[in-house]
Amino acid sequence: MGIVYFVGAGPGGEGLLTLKGAEKLKTCDVVIYDRLASEGLLKMLKPGCKKIYAGKQAGKHYRKQEEINSLLTEYALKDNIVVRLKGGDSFVFGRGTEEIDALNQYNIPYEVIPGVTSAIAVPECAGIPVTHRGISRSFHVITGHTDTSTGAPECNYKALADMGGTLVFMMGLANINEITGNLIKEGMAEETPAAVISGGTTKEQKVIRSKLGDIAEKSRKNNMFSPAVIVIGETAAYRYIYNGKKAGIVATKALMEKIETGLDIAGIGCVPVCEMEVSAVNIQELVKELDNIEKYNWIVFTSRNGVILFFQALKDNYTDIRRLSGIKFAVIGSGTKEELHKYGINADFIPSGYTSSILAKELAEIILPGENVLLPRAVKGSRELTDIFRQENISFKEVKIYDVKGHLLPGADKTGHLDCIIFLSASGVKEFTRLIKSTGKKLPSGIKLVCIGEITKKALEEEFGNSFDIIMADGNNAEGVINAVREKI
């Protein structure tokens, strides 16, 4: 027989999972997770772990509770280690006890691993304490819906209105009109401070503060969304948030996570505004060159993406890596050098400056007559490199193996609260400006633009001219960008 671990996933932010909860996620065979458990936590799962979504929201149950109970017993009885991953804490409006009752019918062992409850953490991360000496000596957590997940909760509103302290309503956004209206009807002052926090502790967190009398209307006008926590009481007016630097970022997901980690360590808030996605193209053309790879003397990479896709194609085509033994490698900068090193290859050439023109000019000086160059790179790669190769009569084969597209994230609506936006590529600049123009968005005056390298700076100048201050990082890597934001913003 297996075992079931009830793991509280916390309020939404991936870093708020407990260490013990993370340990169980890394070792389980099956995970059954709900809508409020961050899907980012699923990255911790071991290969082959079965993932079962059991999300619920008001009026839209992906799986009924009875079905979830059956899944837990079914997989545990098959000798699996099962994690039931539930948003917040399993015992705070999480129906964890009902699921345990189902396991007890079969005498299935289980363990409960507490989670950080949204009732306290979400207001706290919005700067709202649920208690405060001399202001609120108690807090009360109330479900915001009925047993059927629709309709207003059947509460003793008279008692709630009279007891004082801080009221925290969970899952009550759909019923906020009824909740606030009944509290006022039972004697709570319309001037009582109130707040609604949507997407608390995550990058999508959105907070509005007002008064009990109009918080419902303001929630509607501001398009507040679920999951949301409603806080009512004197402490809802507090804003215990340090307003440090905030940087927006335009990058691929992998680079975004790297920059975000570094900024967080430096005490700088990171707001993703546009995610760039790399898509492979013309891979069959690259495969043709791999079949005759020995004819090349040099392979030139101008980005990490080119390195990754090249070696993926090498693997997928079952090309023996030893066939590269007589080839030299040139890379445009330290980031590309690091990526190449992951495959056990040290770069033979790195230019003195991290631009395509400098790479081409300096490489042209050392390539011998008759040597052939393979250039796997982006569809929108700089023409300077190939133009210089032609001028220098260098024999090369350009294979455009990937394209980069972007899509705006919720942070694109928050540029007015940012000190700067970070761009890590010229393609990111082009995509971001195309997208904001197509949606009618405008960057606020005074915001600074931080970039990596001369090419990205040039792209910013082409798009924005002198409208904004442009700051180029000293190093062509993530550390250089982080230092630029820390020291110059």
- The residues that are catalytic are 34, 56, 171
Tokens of 255: 């680079």
User: On the CB side of 467, how many CA atoms lie within 13 Å of its CA?
Assistant: 11
Instruction: List beta partners, residue 228.
Output: 198
d(CA 23, CA 87): 17
DSSP sequence for 160-216: HHHH-SEEEEES-GGGHHHHHHHHHHTT--TTSEEEEEESTTSTT-EEEEEETTTHH
Tokens of 353: 């400056």
377 contacts 306 by C-beta, under 8 angstroms:
yes
Which of 162, 156, 211, 154 minimizes the C-alpha distance to 188? 162
For residue 11, report the phi and psi dihedrals to the nearest 5 degrees: -80, -5
Find out whether the peptide bond into 444 is cis, omega within 30 degrees of 0.
no
Contacts of 172 (CB under 8 A, 6+ apart): 142, 143, 144, 145, 153, 179, 228, 230
d(CA 461, CA 325): 42
Which of 171, 174, 168, 175 minimizes the C-alpha distance to 195? 168
10 Å CB burial of residue 36 (0-12, 13-18, 19+) is: buried
Residue 157, amino acid: Y
Contacts of 4 (CB under 8 A, 6+ apart): 72, 76, 82, 83, 84, 103, 108, 109, 110, 111
